[in-house]
């Protein structure tokens, strides 16, 4: 059954709802408030065969799509997240960002955690100790293996990303190997030793569900480690 609802004032502080586009007019003197009549009709959203849950607003009320002047309006956050995109609101510029912000650097250590890790040191932005190898220091990164132990990381990318860029290298004394797998298939391997210089790498991960990074045990006692510095995920 159709429900009609006279809305309360919609103001610029309302975040992540497309109604911002329609009912707020920015003029030289500031923001103009309007009262509008919208139509709720139990609208559902399905993305790639999966129903989208809209959740609740800051006041605890259920968020619903609605129709205004023949146009259907959807909650931006729910739609963005359903598409696997991060949604951000910049109050200063009154801008909704879906996905990557212009000029933004997204370090992998800060946005995605491995669902499995073994024998790996993590260097995040807030870590007072920085990862260094090949004469260079990195803000973030991973260090795999130690002594005669191997190291590995497995990430669920869920096909949400396009590319990973960073630097691969070696630290310590003794050879190491590093293997990168995309959805179970070997993508690239690296033979690392004391003389290895840091090397820029790019990993194409568009449509990839699982990323595995592995540095197996060398089979004897050594202090070599495989390193990945400042991995940026896009």
| DSSP symbols for 157-178 | -TT---EEEEEEEEESSS-EEE
pLDDT digits (tens, 9 = 90+) for 149-181: 899 999 999 998 999 999 999 998 888 999 999
Bridge partners of 226, per DSSP, are 144, 170
The pair of structure tokens assigned to 49 is 């065969």
Cα–Cα dist 40/86, whole Å: 27
Please indicate, yes or no, whether the overall pTM of this predicted structure exceeds 0.85.
no
pLDDT band at 136 (very low <50, low <70, confident <90, very high): very high
pLDDT digits (tens, 9 = 90+) for 92-117: 888 888 877 776 788 999 999 999 99
Domain ranges of the chain: 3-98, 108-233
Q: Which residues of 173-208 are buried (b: 16+ CB within 10 A; e: fewer)?
A: ebebbbbbbbeeeeeeebebeeebebeebebebeeb
Average pLDDT over residues 215-222: 81
pLDDT digits (tens, 9 = 90+) for 178-212: 999 999 999 999 999 888 899 999 999 999 999 99
Parallel, antiparallel, or unpaired: how do β-strands 95-98 and 87-90 relate?
A: antiparallel
pLDDT band at 233 (very low <50, low <70, confident <90, very high): very high
Torsion of CA 199, 204, 210, 212, to 10 degrees: -20
pLDDT digits (tens, 9 = 90+) for 67-81: 999 899 888 877 787
The CATH fold of domain 108-233: Jelly Rolls (2.60.120)
For residue 36, what pLDDT is reported? 87
Decide if 207 contacts 224 (C-beta within 8 A): no
Tokens 């790498």 belong to residue:
201
Say which DSSP state 110 is in: H
pLDDT digits (tens, 9 = 90+) for 10-56: 333 333 344 444 444 444 446 778 888 888 888 888 888 888 887 77
pLDDT higher than 50, residue 9: no
């Amino acid at each position: 059954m159709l429900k009609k609802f006279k809305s309360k004032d919609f103001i610029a502080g309302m975040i992540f709802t497309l109604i911002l586009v329609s009912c707020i007019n920015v003029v030289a003197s500031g923001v103009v408030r309007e009262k509008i009549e919208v139509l709720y009709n139990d609208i559902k959203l399905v993305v790639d065969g999966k129903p989208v849950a809209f959740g609740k607003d800051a006041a605890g009320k259920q968020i619903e799509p609605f129709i205004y002047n023949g146009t259907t309006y959807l909650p931006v956050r729910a739609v963005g997240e359903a598409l696997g995109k991060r949604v951000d609101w910049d109050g200063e510029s009154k801008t909704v960002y879906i996905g990557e912000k212009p000029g933004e650097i997204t370090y992998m250590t800060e946005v995605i955690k491995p669902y499995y890790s073994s024998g790996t040191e993590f260097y995040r932005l807030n870590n007072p100790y920085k990862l260094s190898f090949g004469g260079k220091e990195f803000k973030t990164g991973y260090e795999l293996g130690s002594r005669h132990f191997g190291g590995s990381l497995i990430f669920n990318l869920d096909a949400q990303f396009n590319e990973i860029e960073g630097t691969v290298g070696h630290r310590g004394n003794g050879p190491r190997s590093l293997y990168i797998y995309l959805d179970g298939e070997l993508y690239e391997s690296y033979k690392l030793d004391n003389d290895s210089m840091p090397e820029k790498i790019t990993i194409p991960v568009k449509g990839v569900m699982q990323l595995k990074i592995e540095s197996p045990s060398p089979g004897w006692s050594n202090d070599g480690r495989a390193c990945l510095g400042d991995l940026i995920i896009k």
